[in-house]
Structure 1
Amino acid sequence: MKYLILIYTNPATRKVWDALPEAQREAGYQAHLAFRESLADSGELIVAEALADPATARRVTATGGRTRTADGPFAEAKELLAGFYLIECESLERAIEHGSRVPEAEFGLVEVRPILDLHAP
């Protein structure tokens, strides 16, 4: 089954990250690299990506045949999606095990969600 491990950030955690010395930020990047490599080595990684700054986001609505966009970030959101890992493993428990290894899990900013199989009968 496929699972999406979602990584969130918020203004407070972003401020802490930005204030870290370069060596600590590099250690954070290396932790993600090691995690990504372990998922790839186990054959469970499908894709992993970090997302650009939320200020570059656009919200899209399409009503009445008309498309409208709004610039981000979106103030009503307390937490913003920062990146994700799409994995395929045998159980939710295994996906949660992987999710617990994401560095941001220490701050409660990781969500594990099953992917719906829209092709299932």
Structure 2
Amino acid sequence: MKYLLAIYENPGVWNGLPERVRADVHEGRHRFVEEIGASGELLGRITLGDLSHGAVVQVRDGLTWVTGGLHAERADHLVGCYVVECESRERAHAIAAMIPDTGIEGLGIEVRPIAFSVGVGV
């Protein structure tokens, strides 16, 4: 089964972490990619650009509205994801637990089964 491991960060939490802790998280993510890549379970990864370059597009009554930035009411934001293929939901949870973000209050990993994919190598 394939799973999306979505990385969510609260910018206030992330920016409030000491530089060494942020560096440790980045280093831990690299180790995670190496380990899960070597196991053959990692199918891909995506890192999203700066939140300030995001936009929300909505269509209402035939008119398209583009709002700069993201939904401000959300405290946490999607910053990237990994796509893995493993034998069970429990294994997907165990893989997610290896990502260092899970050990920091205000950061987290959402695990979702992929029901369908096409064209992105997954």
Fold-level similarity (TM above 0.5): yes
Correspondent of 1:82 among 79, 82, 96: 79
- Per-residue deviation, 1:16: 2.1
Q: TM-score, with normalisation over the residues of structure 2?
A: 0.82
The residue that corresponds to 1:60 in the other structure is 57
Would the aligned equivalents of 2:28 and 2:100 in 1 still touch at CA under 8 Å?
Answer: yes
Aligned amino acid, residue 110 of structure 1: I
Cα offset for 1:42? 0.8
What residue ranges of structure 1 are gaps of 5+ in the alignment?
Answer: none
| Alpha carbons 2:8, 2:79 under 8 Å: kept | yes
1:1-121 to 2 correspondences below 5 Å? 1-17=1-17, 20-21=18-19, 23-106=20-103, 107=105, 109-117=108-116
**In percent, how many aligned pairs have the same letter?**
34
Q: 2:45–2:82: 8 Å Cα contact kept in structure 1?
A: yes
The answer as to whether partners of 2:25 and 2:101 remain within 8 angstroms in 1 is: no
Structure 2 unaligned runs (5+)? Answer: none
CA RMSD in angstroms, aligned pairs only: 2.0
Q: Distance in 1 between matches of 2:13 and 2:116?
A: 34
1:61-89 deviations in Å (ceiling 9; x for gaps): 23444432111132111211111111111
Tell me the number of residue pairs that the alignment of Structure 1 and Structure 2 aligns. Answer: 116
Give the TM-score of the pair, scaled to structure 1. 0.83
Letter in 1 for 2:38: D
